[in-house]
Structure 1
């Protein structure tokens, strides 16, 4: 739940009671979920304030209930929540899941596309899959933290400045030995560097490298030119 931004956990008549220190110890520091747990005597009390409840099961039941996959179910849940209503996902016991009476008071069944010969999942696996799908349908990008860490992409003016800086330094070092091939080589260099998708910080770093190499080349040239003294 904590991995995907969910924290409203409701327990119905938990077998080992609550609070439960073993649960806290195995929660991998998801204390904000553990501390908000609410315990109810009955399922009816646990879902009393919800207006949409989906029950999770891998077994067919002798009742007419809509059956949804995780994607459709979570699309419906997010749309329902976006309208200002409350919704919930109902999970059964670790050993034998939900009974028919519990599924009967839900609005639909959610099932996963598992292999029917081995359809059983433990609660943690089922919660993980549906929490992930809810997060995905909520439009929260998985790559956002990485984009923030990388920084803003460099503008074209910054890239052109970097290209011109490099080309000027290469001219001074004698890199372009054949003048008539210089335009094609410059186009190749710009195309190659353009694929790098530089950020502004990377452009500054790269230009710093060019300047450092340029200064080193100047020192070498000065050392080769020895002054001659005459008396």
Structure 2
């Protein structure tokens, strides 16, 4: 069953290799997209190589809309974006992938149907294909090697779609069944180390002892310690003291 989430259709125009169609399906499903449309696949349809490469995303291939030409594939769409790495001599809005998917998300949320076109592997979309689009999306790739694999291009746009429509956390810490140490627990750890370092004669000369203690306290306060970290560091110091006492 297709996802109920409104989303764009990804249209593969005259794709040549079944493996790339399957890889594109897998990339789409990775990011919650399942509206694939195929325009005149070179090797016919269905394609066993596509199924093998889809690796779990086979339902996208089963549900893919098959069209004889581009006009038929996008006939129901309100806005069409063409992917291309080359200047075409056509006056069009040119989006970055991020901007293209933000605009797509805005239009889809407003109830519009949006299609994103991907060209065949050999040379990409033809000028006639791009002329049918309302806008172009271009990836900022190395100008000396601008060609992207079909599935890679699909993956990149699918990722930007996900970023535009999902709550993507920029950074997080997985706690692995641990809790952060409290300020009091860190203070006790600092006290433990400071006492042992005092006994070992670390704070020398006396004129620098106070600034050395301050720097150590500052170091402990900067460290993001879990309760497990604190217990381990207490244990490390106790064992070192026991070892020194045995040695003495």
Measured in 2, the distance between the counterparts of 1:117 and 1:164 equals 60
What are the within-5 Å matches in structure 2 for residues 24-63 of structure 1? 24-27=51-54, 29=55, 31-32=56-57, 34-37=58-61, 38-42=64-68, 43-47=70-74, 50-61=77-88, 63=90
Partners of 1:54 and 1:107 within 8 A in 2: yes
SS of the equivalent of 1:88 reads: strand
In the other structure, the counterpart of 2:225 is 198
Alpha-carbon shift at residue 48 of structure 1 (Å): 5.3
Larger Cα-atom Rg: 1
Q: How many residues align?
A: 216
Deviation, 1:158, is: 2.9
Helix, strand or coil: the match of 2:60? coil
TM normalised by structure 2 equals 0.66
- Could you tell me how far apart the structure 1 residues matched to 2:108 and 2:67 are? 26
Aligned partners of 1:57 and 1:17: how far apart in 2? Answer: 24
What secondary structure, in the 3-state scheme, does the structure 2 residue paired with 1:36 have?
helix
SS in 2 for 1:80: helix
Cα pair 1:4 1:135 within 8 Å, conserved: no
Give the Cα–Cα distance (whole angstroms) in 2 for the partners of residues 166 and 118 of structure 1: 57
What residue ranges of structure 2 are gaps of 5+ in the alignment?
1-26
TM-score (norm 1): 0.70
Distance 1:3 1:209 in 2: 48
Higher relative contact order (CA 8 A, sep 6+): 2
1:131 and 2:158 correspond: yes
Are the aligned partners of 2:33 and 2:158 in contact in 1 as well (CA < 8 Å)? no
For residue 7 of structure 1, the aligned residue among 11, 26, 33 is 33
Q: Match for residue 110 of structure 1? A: 137
Residue 40 of structure 1: CA displacement? Answer: 1.4
Backbone CA RMSD of aligned residues: 3.5
**Structure 1 unaligned residues grouped into runs of 5+:** 225-231
Could you tell me which of 210, 214, 217 is aligned with 1:187? 214
CA drift at 1:127: 2.5
